[in-house]
């Protein structure tokens, strides 16, 4: 019985380390869509690291975050925030655009 409770504590501790570890390991970057423009339009992220992009669409119209170089495509309805994971990536510049308003909604991820 004692041995059992010990292993549960151990398991709980292990899970806690894994969970918090994974939460900390994924850096979060914010991008805002306002008047069909990306803010910031250029974003620098670390090399060989997975990151989480939080894309907040403040417009009333939907937008599609799209990038051929990053292999990503996600519809973000108006007045909502979309989550997109990217990376780990090699050094370089990865353009992205808003498919619904491609003339204005342009940006790029710089991996450094």
Partner 1 sequence: MLINAVIIILREVLEASLILGVLLALSQHNQISKSWSLKALLLGGLAAVMYAANLAMISALHEGVGQEIVNAVLYVFIFTLILAIVYCLRDKQYLKLAAAAMFGCVVLAVLREGSEIIVYIHGFSTIPDLFTPVLVGSSIGAGIGLSIGVFVYYLIVSLPFIYGVISGFFVLVFIAGGMVSQAIQMLLQADLISSELPIWDTSQLVSEQSIVGQILFAMMGYEATPILLQVVLYTASILLTGFFAIGSIKRTQQGNLL
Applying CB under 8 A, the residues found at the interface with partner 1 are 26, 50, 52, 54, 60-64, 68-69, 71-88, 90, 99-100, 102-103
| CB-nearer residue toward partner 1: 7 or 61 | 61
3-class SS string, 4-53: HHHHHHHHHHHHHHHHHHHHHHCCEEEEEEECCEEECCEEEECCCCCEEE
Contact 87, 109 (CB under 8 A): no
Smallest distance, Å, CB 4 to partner 1?
Answer: 32
Select 13 or 95, whichever has its Cβ closest to partner 1: 95
Least distance CB 27 / partner 1 (angstroms) = 13
Nearer to partner 1, 13 or 92 (CB): 92
Q: Two tokens at 57?
A: 């669409």
């Amino acid at each position: 019985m004692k041995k059992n409770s010990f292993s549960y504590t151990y398991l709980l501790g292990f899970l806690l380390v894994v969970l918090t570890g994974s939460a900390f390991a994924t850096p979060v970057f914010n991008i805002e869509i306002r008047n069909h423009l990306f803010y910031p339009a250029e974003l620098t992220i670390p090399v060989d690291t997975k990151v989480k992009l939080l894309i907040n669409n403040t417009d009333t119209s939907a937008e599609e975050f799209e990038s051929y170089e990053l292999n990503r495509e996600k519809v973000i309805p108006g007045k909502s925030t979309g989550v997109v994971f990217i990376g780990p990536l090699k050094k370089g510049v990865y353009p992205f655009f808003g498919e619904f308003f491609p003339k204005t909604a342009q940006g790029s991820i710089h991996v450094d």
